[in-house]
Structure 1
Amino acid sequence: MNEKAPVSIITDGDSSMKFTIEKEFPNAHHRLCAWHLIYNATCNIGKPQLTSMFKKYMLGDYEIDVEMVEEFGVKNKNWILDMYKKRHSWETAHIRRKFFAGFRATSRCEGVNSIIEKYVNSRYNLVEFIQHFNQCIDHIRWKEAQADLTSVNGKPSMQTCFEQLERSTANVYTLSIFYMFQQILVRAASMKVINMRQIGSYVIYSVGLDCTTNEMWHVFFCDIEMEFNCSCMRVESFGIPCEHTVCVLVHKDIDELPRSLTKTAKVGFQNPTGFRWDSLMLSQYSCLMDWFRQLANIACQDNERFIFTREMTMNLLKQFKEEDAI
């Protein structure tokens, strides 16, 4: 992995996986899958009201206290005590500064498994497995290339009062990220800067709703480096600026966001072999692989066709290498 280790890992809580993660990735934050936690709460406790409260504290920005479960009569249950000890692995209040890109469950992994199951099964031998697995990979790459093409060529409609900021963001983010950011812009429209104070090179903005100041967030802004941090820490955990930060940007008449997630993020990606991938190249590669696979299946059945195809391929490969060397 280019000497890089994951910073965030989500599992179902298996003890052997937990041990391995702590050993191999000591700096990674291990999060427990939200779906498995709710399922286990239902199975181990069997009290719908407690499960509902558990879900609220798991997904909301609250810190749970073991005394809160006294009314349900399960305070001394082993599962409750165990989950309380592990609260740093599932409570949003403890996890919000850790980057998980919005994932709370292992659903993405399960989704990939469901796709693979459509192409392979236990009856295949090794050769059949590899052939069908390659078809699965081709399908995934093709869908990704289609999504990239849609994102590059798509032009979303502007829907908020911050049209200039929204339009510049549409040129920076992918379509799927932009649609999520649009909702943040909508929420930012109902907020305002209530107070501000200067501390050194930083300005601290207190941001709240128009109708109340009971709940405020603090955005730290540095003019020198154009750096901003919010007390909600959503950008650290999700990767997209929050509505509080957007409110400050609007207040300061800043109409562009840092280009951390762009439509062309994959264009400049370079793997260890030095090969550069983008959507067009990925599509062409997939097409060529499919055609060459069909050609190989036909040519290998006849010796003359095999020799002819081999010679043509080797000559073509030699020609391309010579052209690239010029």
Structure 2
Amino acid sequence: MEKVFRVHKDDVTVEGINSLIIFYVNRKNTLINFMHNLDRALKEYRNNELVADFKSQCSEPMMITSLEVYERFVACCFTRNIFKEIRNEQRAEALNIKVLCTVFDKVEFSMTVLGDLTKDRRVKVDRSKNMFSCSCKLFESRGISCSHIFGAIKFENLLKFPESLIYKRWTKNIKNDFISTTMM
């Protein structure tokens, strides 16, 4: 009996690719079976990617957070999967925010979760450069803004999502940019 391996768009990470390869590198499979199964998995992956791209480009998700101005921007800018991840981080209303220090255009905040003061995060904001950094390092590691940064954006009363927090590889139009630069 032949196993079918489903590839989902969310699984395309190094771990997902490794598990895909490990699944197909099997002593029981012949080279022909390996190539056939791998071809089928790639076709399914490409189809899933096309469907996800279509949904990102041609539909708008429901706005469900209290930070609708940011949520709407994130929905317009980022792919649907990244939008969902960022929306999960938009819990800024559940944070206690305290200004620790202000030096010229630089501000440092302390962020704690409502009801849990043990998880203290530090957010640094450079107002002149519109740059944000958080001690949790979610943006640096995954390329999405954390709830602490959303708290700082809200506290700073910014109505526009900062460009410095837009990781280009997660945007809807990255493929268009890539295609237009490689075709010239």
Q: 1:175 aligns with which of 70, 77, 80?
A: 80
Map 1:21-40 to 2 at 5 A. none
Matched residues in 1 for 2:31 and 2:146: separation? 49
**Structure 1 partner of 2:52:** 147
Change (3 A) 1:257 1:234: same
Q: How far is the alpha carbon of 1:178 from its aligned partner?
A: 0.9
Provide the alpha-carbon RMSD of the alignment.
3.3
**Structure 1 partner of 2:128:** 224
Matched residues in 1 for 2:155 and 2:111: separation? 11
**Structure 2 partner of 1:295:** none
**Structure 1 partner of 2:18:** 109
| Structure 1 spans left out of the alignment, 5+ residues | 1-102, 277-326
Contact 2:61 2:75 in 1 (8 A): yes
**Structure 2 partner of 1:320:** none
Q: TM-score scaled by structure 2?
A: 0.74
Choose 1 or 2 for highest CA Rg: 1
**Structure 1 partner of 2:157:** 253
Change (3 A) 1:237 1:152: same
| Structure 2 spans left out of the alignment, 5+ residues | 1-11
Residue identity in the other structure for 1:262: T
Q: CA offsets per residue over residues 259-286 of structure 1, 9 Å max, x none?
A: 32311122111499x338xxxxxxxxxx
Contact 2:52 2:80 in 1 (8 A): no
Matched residues in 1 for 2:64 and 2:77: separation? 17
Matched residues in 1 for 2:17 and 2:38: separation? 18
Q: How far is the alpha carbon of 1:176 from its aligned partner?
A: 0.8
Residue identity in the other structure for 1:122: T
Matched residues in 1 for 2:178 and 2:71: separation? 26
Q: CA offsets per residue over residues 48-104 of structure 1, 9 Å max, x none?
A: xxxxxxxxxxxxxxxxxxxxxxxxxxxxxxxxxxxxxxxxxxxxxxxxxxxxxxx99
**Structure 1 partner of 2:176:** 267
Q: How far is the alpha carbon of 1:214 from its aligned partner?
A: 3.9
Look up the SS of the partner of 1:171 in the other structure: helix
Change (3 A) 1:104 1:175: closer
Contact 2:99 2:107 in 1 (8 A): no
Q: RCO higher in 1 or 2 (8 Å CA, sep ≥ 6)?
A: 2
The alignment of Structure 1 onto Structure 2 pairs a total of residues equal to 166
Q: TM-score scaled by structure 1?
A: 0.44
Q: CA offsets per residue over residues 156-200 of structure 1, 9 Å max, x none?
A: 111111111111111111111111111111x32200312231134
Matched residues in 2 for 1:105 and 1:198: separation? 40
Q: How far is the alpha carbon of 1:228 from its aligned partner?
A: 0.6
Q: 1:124 aligns with which of 32, 43, 49?
A: 32
Residue identity in the other structure for 1:221: V
Residue identity in the other structure for 1:275: M
Using the aligned pairs only, state the percent identity: 22
Q: CA offsets per residue over residues 16-69 of structure 1, 9 Å max, x none?
A: xxxxxxxxxxxxxxxxxxxxxxxxxxxxxxxxxxxxxxxxxxxxxxxxxxxxxx
Map 1:234-313 to 2 at 5 A. 234-255=138-159, 256-258=161-163, 259-260=166-167, 261-270=170-179, 274-275=182-183
Contact 1:192 1:208 in 2 (8 A): yes
Q: How far is the alpha carbon of 1:238 from its aligned partner?
A: 1.5
Q: CA offsets per residue over residues 82-140 of structure 1, 9 Å max, x none?
A: xxxxxxxxxxxxxxxxxxxxx998344213554x68xxx51539xx95x8865654443
Matched residues in 1 for 2:130 and 2:78: separation? 19
Look up the SS of the partner of 1:224 in the other structure: coil
Matched residues in 1 for 2:79 and 2:123: separation? 25
Matched residues in 1 for 2:31 and 2:67: separation? 57
Matched residues in 2 for 1:105 and 1:143: separation? 18
